[in-house]
Structure 1
Amino acid sequence: MVPVALLVALRLGWLSWLVADGGPVRKTLEALSWIAALVAVGFSVFELRRQRPEPVVSRSVYVGRALHLDGDRLPRVADVSLLALRVKRAVGTSDGQALPRYVPRDRDEDLEWAIAGGGLVLLHGRAAAGKSRAAAEAVRRLRPDHELLVPVDGPALRRIVESGQQLSDTVVWLDDLERFLVPGGLDVGLLQQLAPPGSPVCVVATIRDNELAAFRTTEGAINQAGTDLITAIPPSHLIVIKQHLTEAEQERARVAQASDPRVGRALAAPEGFAEYLAAGTSMLERWSIGDNPLFHVGQALISAAVDCRRAGYADAVPGATLAELHRPYLPAPWCDRPDLPPVAEGLAWAARPVLGASSCLQPRTGGTYLVSDYLVDLAQEGTSPLAGAPIPDGTWEVLFRLCSDQSVVALGFGAYRADRFEVAEKCFRRACEAGDGSALGLVAIAIGKLGRLAEVRKIFEDAARSGDRATMLRAALSLSFNDWFDDMLDLGRRNAEAGNRYAFLSLANCLVNSRRWDDLQQLALYTIDHNLPDMVSAVMASITKHIDEDRLVQLACHAVDSHNEDVIISTLVNVNPDSALTSRLLQHAMRSGNTSDEAAILAWLAHDKRFGEIAEFTKTALLADEEDMVLTAIVPLAKQEGMSELMTLAREAIDSDDVDSLQGFAVGIKSEGRRDRLEELLQYSEEVASVGSREFLNMIIALDNASSGNEEPGEQP
């Protein structure tokens, strides 16, 4: 403290009479001031480290990208309310009542096991079935003290994961999973980074059945990353939450109704337990029933918001945008009425809680509104005031302007699913021009539906030359969606000859998806005839699980007839024939009289350690007096792992005193330097008194001794 006090005194001029320029006192004090400064800095750094072990910057990646933060830190699961996790408000909660007591669901135990196993756990069902509540209650039971990551959107989640921030003992919460399955968002690769096997990170997500179904259709592959991720979820991690309670669930609800009459009313509701508690039917009535100016404006605003979600715009919509969109949704007699209330009043009416629960339009920050997904489900099913009407042109235009260059792809997905392919093309081209390299393939899918397949082919060819795999695959899908199979075959042949394996494989896989077995067989025959083993392997890998045995035999025999060892082995590796089919192929090769074909098959059998089948073929060749075939078969048997089979054949020859056959077997054994095996056979021949075999084996051992310079030759014949 003394150096610091002296420094202060100097600054205030109290000791100026001691510190004349150049004086020894001043020099001493200046030196002390430097020491004091260094000590003060050191103590400050130590104190900061003691008070906060982790620097602020280590957590800054969450700010602006994750919700419900505790400063710049992730909160604990137990510290985030159910409503904050987007659990729907129940009847009466807007009036100050708590959420009803949770009624355990039959799938809770399966859900707990799935969460305990880690990875991605997905709850699905209708809107307002209780998915979010079941998921939130489960993570609260199992992981209350774990950190909770609720990303703002898919790209935000990617930024967090790719920042290198280590997540440990963390629950990642993805309510409405489809919002995160966007370009630059969650995909299989990112999930593997986020929650690899054995990781303490668990991802819990929900999705409505209508959205899930969109990823499971053939053309759902337009969002290939999302489709791949959904497909990769194991069945044990797909938890369905049903609309109506089972008998066991109803019994548990009856216990809960004693303390909360809302539970009893929900039990009796025909629409479903959770649907009643979320005021689903009452929200539909709010949207559907009325005949005054305020009702019609409010209804039009709700309808506009529903169509925004149907169109693929998942974010909350600004009130000003709804005001711009709502007029086409007004009934014709009301469009020009002068007594319509202001839009602000209509928004307030639509945002008013129904039965003290949720509202049709849920207010969000910045004057935005998110429509209830329950109403979106009804609209998608055609049981709403929209009655299945198409989304107006003006809505697409306004949303196109509202979207960012990143979010416009999701709008394109919505347009594609609504059969508005020209809007989808416009969205995808904008994303492409903004630098999204994957969007060109989406353009190919959209324009394919518009009949511009020559352009699709050109996109495929350009992508094949540049090595753009994602675009190649989507362009191939577009051709297959629109039955351009002749062009696909032509492209397949061209890329096979050019050695472009991925382009060829993209086309082959699309033909598999379209179940075009004849076309695939043509491609396979083409690659065999043109001696293209890499392409043979590619096409065989695509089709062997899907075509019948007769086709497989035909292709395999055709490969044998090519007399190309690489083609034959590529075919066998992918066909993986059983012993019966292998025997047929060897017989086919034997009839052709080309030992190189047989050698290729035998080499593959040896590589697959199927020495018993080689031994059986050797016997067949012996019976047929095919000496060259026998010698060819002996070569792989003489190797270390096939030696036992060869010894068995040699003993059988000794038993029958078949010296001619024994000669071939013994030569094969000798070629591998196995003198011990020859002596073992000699001893066996003496035991069974096979004179001819004994004499031959004595001779070959003597010759071996002579060639090796052994001074003690064996018995002379």
Structure 2
Amino acid sequence: MLWLDDLDRYLLPGGLDQGMLSALLEQRVVVMATMRSEVYGNYSERALRGMEAGVASARRLGSRVLNLIEPLVLDRQWSKTEMSRLRAHLANPNSDSRLADAARHHGVHGIAEYLAAGPKLLKEFQTTRRQPKGHPRGAALVQAAIDLARAGISTPLPAETLLALSACYLAAGDASRLQAESPEQALVWATEIQFGVAGMLVATDTAEAWRPFDYLVDAIASAFEAAAIPDEVWEAAVTHANGGSELLPVGRSAFRFGRLVLAERCFSPLAARGGHAAMHDLGFVQRERRPEHTWSSWYRTVSETGTPLQARALGALHEIEGRWDEAAASYERAAAQGDALTMRLRGVIAQRRGQDDEAHEWYVRAAKGGDALAIASFSKPGIYRPEMGHGLGSETWDPSVEGDEEDEEPWRMTARTSRILSCNLEILADMAHDELDELGDQPISPNIFGIFFARLPASTWGQPRHWRRRVLRALDDLNEDIALGHSPEPRCAAEELALHFALESASAMTCDEPDLVAELAQGLPDQQGDYDWPVCSDLLFQDHDVLFLYNPMMQGLEHPDDPLNRHMGIGDLRPEGWFEEFENVLPRDPSRGFAH
């Protein structure tokens, strides 16, 4: 295949012509090319008629080549279908952060253009001030706009403000080069459209006012050692905050940068005017600056009169500092306003205090309110236990009679137990397989019930189809163990959870469908220990740590860096770590493929 990027570079005398294209096609070479739409239009007959004769003659050769090609027009903005697929991808915890940035900031530019032009503009910006004939004043203009954005300003920036602040970024060594670059030239360079997409400074609806290209702001802000924002720029940000509309974001940026005095200057007038968000943030600032101050009064005011989000934040602060009663009261105020997450957090406090019935009631309320983690907590797999005298186990086995330990052989599942467990693994696998095509990459939503993948922990609900298919293979791998005459041995977290669900399903079958169990087990010997699912749950696993994922009190434990995770030696229970095989088991054949 021959790929020609920017095809117009090749449509010159001595370049790609009709004869060369025909020769390539005869050799079965696939020719693909890209060309910007405005350049493509320069080769139309109407455009050629309006050109000088020599230019038109040279371009007519290219026009003949283009007439042989069927163009595929790609719109600058992605279609609704493409954006829908992007949103599904971004719901995945392992999604590409660059795509997430592009989705948030691309604006009038297409996502592809944002991704393509952004790195080029960044490179141009970073290198120009070091070049002998570079644009130090222009780069300083751009840096001032970037730092104002980092300081919390999102409204258009007047050119005179940027020119005044540019002096903050110019070193003594730039003096000789500044003589060759006037302020007007610097502004022209900074705003010039490059790569057919945008300039480093982007025009706005306000005359002579600009904003920085978002990619540059994100790249500079996320740099490992991002430069500090000069004092003059902070003061300009406060001045530019337009009487209060941007004081809140400027104050929050100042707080993140550790400029507490400036943050307090921004929040105080807003809080005095009754702004709940500013009251909340001012409390944080004063707590950091003056612990002895009556900062908690701001929290009480905002908790009692503000939004559920602010009451929840106050509850979290009380909880961090060990004030459980105050935390519970704040959560209850937020819960009274219908905040489902706060209902779950209130249940966590009850659970930590050992008030399990109260915790259950709060989790039920949170689940009814749509909290995903609370909903998933009720799907934790367990073992169904038959009523006394209704078990299907061997009539000759009395579990209350202890055997002679010297005569005992290593435990293994009985033939009947293996058969019923195998049948339930197969049922679950068939169910999961039917769901794969229906779900695709669609995230699980809290209102989806009755399907296998919705019963997994909420942390997995955004995983794509290929991840879910590997969970399906975990069911098949365990069933393969049984088919080979072994007890199923989970080799990874996905297989552990798959086996927990299979044991739950098998125990429910033996309790609720005895006739079906008898039919499935027909011809197999009656043995001591038939259908003893609690013993299977005890002996088939190395531990039950994977079930912590259903416990609302254990949120965050799945990360290997979580302190409790490290203390307990749990390992990586994040979705991306579910298929990492344990070190103390024999690995499965990596080339085994998929049964479904």
TM-score range, shorter chain: 0.3 to 0.5
More helix by share: 1
How does the TM-score come out when normalised to structure 1?
A: 0.35
**Higher gyration radius (CA):** 1
How does the TM-score come out when normalised to structure 2?
A: 0.40
